[in-house]
């Protein structure tokens, strides 16, 4: 029997049990739709973060310490101050490196602009003016004096009257220290929409954290450094040299804990790392959603077995008039594959729809996970074959003599 013929006969049989066929495919639809939805959301999330960053590449990298979390996926930043003044000087001496700016975190409790207060939220960093070498200033310029500060756009927007250059901010640190600073400039957000509000002050005036080096001297140390090069092409060789120094000669290598890892990351590396993490999460959630698909295929198998039992007599008739085992098997397999394919096509459509609604609500860009759409269709066919195989085999095995006696 040719395929067209079995398609026709199987399709008719599906249509003659509309409600049953619909309910059966819903299992597959839910499974596929769930997977596709999560893929769209994952893609949209990545796009929303990475899309902004990729727009402009700056010739800078961040030296920081990472560790793997005890549970779950991803990476954790370690805030231990291990990069000493000596490390900063050594890195600055590398040929391709233009500047090294420390990033010393300060614990800012409260920020006042006139009568308006913002508690917490703002991340305060002690750094040097070099850090802004490649930054784009929305207004103003890097700090020069010791009572000046640079903020980013996010911080500026935290206040009702956006903070602008020349405004006076009163800072209160966690340890009770206070300081009044003048905003010298506002920089563009480094990581697009996702950038946290930041405030930068001169390291010499505000940063006091010190560690004892292996050589026994007390020196300032920072949890991370910003390393800049002159041109974008210098980043790669500089990154190599920085990494080499950190691993071989740095104080940081001595000071860090064994399970901590030092990294010189370019913006590109950060994006890649971030994308990897989101991808892992997306696949993990998708795998959970795929359980629905397994349930769905059991549904198809179940209904096909019922269908074979119901049609025992018809199988007998077909065999009496010349149908081979293969013909019977083909009929039932085609039927279950049709159910699987319809399920996956509707599932993909529903998944894209639900995903679209999701990214729209979250204001992320829409992502079309084309590879997953293809996978979903292939899986749909696979589900049809796998769940139809046993019922079809049972149908093919029906003894026509018995079947025709079947009332």
Spell out the residues 6+ positions from residue 24 whose beta carbon is closer than 8 angstroms to its own.
Answer: 299, 300, 303, 339
Contact in structure between 47 and 367 (CB atoms under 8 Å): yes
Rounded Cα distance between 53 and 191, Å, is 5
Beta strands in 153-306 (DSSP E): 168-173, 178-187, 198-202, 210-212, 218-222, 224-229, 261-266
Q: Nearest distance from residue 6's CB to another protein, in Å?
A: 9
Q: How many whole angstroms from its chain centre is CA 320?
A: 59
Q: Which two tokens stand for residue 196?
A: 């946290």
CA distances (Å), 271 to each of 58, 136, 300, in order? Answer: 13, 20, 42
Of the two residues 178 and 324, which places its CB atom closer to another protein in the complex? 324
Of the two residues 12 and 215, which places its CB atom closer to another protein in the complex? 12
Could you give the string, one character per residue 15-34, with x where binding to another protein holds by CB under 8 A and - elsewhere?
Answer: -x------------------
DSSP for residue 326: H
Could you give the string, one character per residue 374-403, with x where binding to another protein holds by CB under 8 A and - elsewhere?
Answer: --------------------------xx--
Of the two residues 260 and 325, which places its CB atom closer to another protein in the complex? 325
The reply on whether position 9 binds another protein by CB under 8 A is yes
Of the two residues 13 and 65, which places its CB atom closer to another protein in the complex? 13
Among residues 11, 12, 57, 166, which is the contact residue for another protein, using CB under 8 A? 12
Of the two residues 256 and 319, which places its CB atom closer to another protein in the complex? 319
Nearest CA to 246 out of 94, 125, 68, 77 is that of: 94
Of the two residues 221 and 328, which places its CB atom closer to another protein in the complex? 328
Rounded Cα distance between 236 and 59, Å, is 10
Q: Nearest distance from residue 322's CB to another protein, in Å?
A: 2
Of the two residues 16 and 71, which places its CB atom closer to another protein in the complex? 16
Q: Nearest distance from residue 399's CB to another protein, in Å?
A: 9
Could you give the string, one character per residue 149-188, with x where binding to another protein holds by CB under 8 A and - elsewhere?
Answer: ----------------------------------------
Q: Nearest distance from residue 332's CB to another protein, in Å?
A: 15
HEC letters along 56-107: CCCCEEEEEEEECCCCCCCCEEECCCCEEHHHHHHHHCCCCEEEEEEEEEEC
Could you give the string, one character per residue 306-335, with x where binding to another protein holds by CB under 8 A and - elsewhere?
Answer: -------xx-xxxxxxxxxxxx--------
Query: Residue numbers of the site for another protein (CB under 8 A)?
Result: 1-2, 5, 9, 12-13, 16, 313-314, 316-327, 400-401, 404
């Amino acid at each position: 029997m040719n395929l067209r013929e079995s398609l026709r006969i199987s399709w008719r049989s599906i249509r003659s049990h509309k409600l049953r066929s619909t309910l059966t495919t819903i299992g597959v639809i839910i499974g596929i739709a769930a997977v596709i939805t999560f893929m769209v959301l994952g893609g949209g999330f990545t796009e929303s973060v990475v899309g902004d960053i990729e727009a402009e590449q700056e010739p800078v990298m961040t030296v920081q310490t990472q560790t793997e979390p005890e549970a779950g996926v991803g990476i954790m930043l370690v805030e231990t101050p291990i990069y000493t003044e000596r490390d900063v000087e050594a890195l600055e001496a590398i040929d391709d490196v233009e500047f090294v700016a420390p990033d010393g975190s300060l614990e800012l409790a409260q920020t006042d602009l006139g009568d308006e207060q913002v508690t917490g939220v703002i991340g305060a960093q002690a750094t040097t003016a070099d850090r802004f070498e490649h930054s784009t200033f929305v207004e103003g310029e890097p700090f020069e004096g010791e009572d000046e500060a640079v903020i980013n756009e996010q911080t500026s927007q935290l206040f009702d009257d956006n903070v602008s250059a020349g405004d006076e901010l009163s800072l209160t640190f966690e340890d009770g220290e206070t300081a009044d600073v003048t905003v010298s400039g506002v920089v563009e957000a480094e990581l697009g929409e996702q950038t946290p509000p930041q405030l930068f002050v001169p390291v010499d005036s505000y940063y006091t954290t010190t560690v004892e080096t292996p050589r026994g001297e007390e020196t300032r140390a920072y949890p991370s450094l910003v390393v800049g090069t002159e041109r974008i092409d210098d980043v790669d060789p500089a990154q190599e040299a920085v990494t080499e120094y950190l691993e071989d000669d740095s104080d940081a290598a001595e000071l860090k804990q064994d399970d901590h890892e030092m990294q010189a990351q370019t913006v590109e590396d950060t994006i890649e790392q971030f994308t990897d993490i989101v991808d892992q999460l997306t696949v993990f959630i998708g795998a959970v959603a795929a359980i629905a698909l397994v349930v769905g295929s059991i549904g198809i198998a179940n209904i096909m077995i019922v269908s074979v039992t119901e049609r025992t007599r018809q199988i007998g008739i077909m065999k009496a008039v010349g149908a081979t085992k293969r013909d019977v098997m083909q009929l039932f397999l085609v039927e279950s594959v049709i159910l699987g394919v319809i399920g996956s096509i509707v599932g993909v459509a529903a998944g894209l729809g639900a995903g679209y609604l999701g990214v729209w609500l979250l204001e992320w860009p829409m992502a079309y996970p084309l590879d997953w759409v293809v996978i979903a269709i292939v899986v749909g066919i696979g589900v049809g074959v796998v769940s139809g195989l046993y019922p079809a085999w049972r149908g093919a095995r029906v003894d026509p003599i018995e079947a025709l006696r079947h009332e």
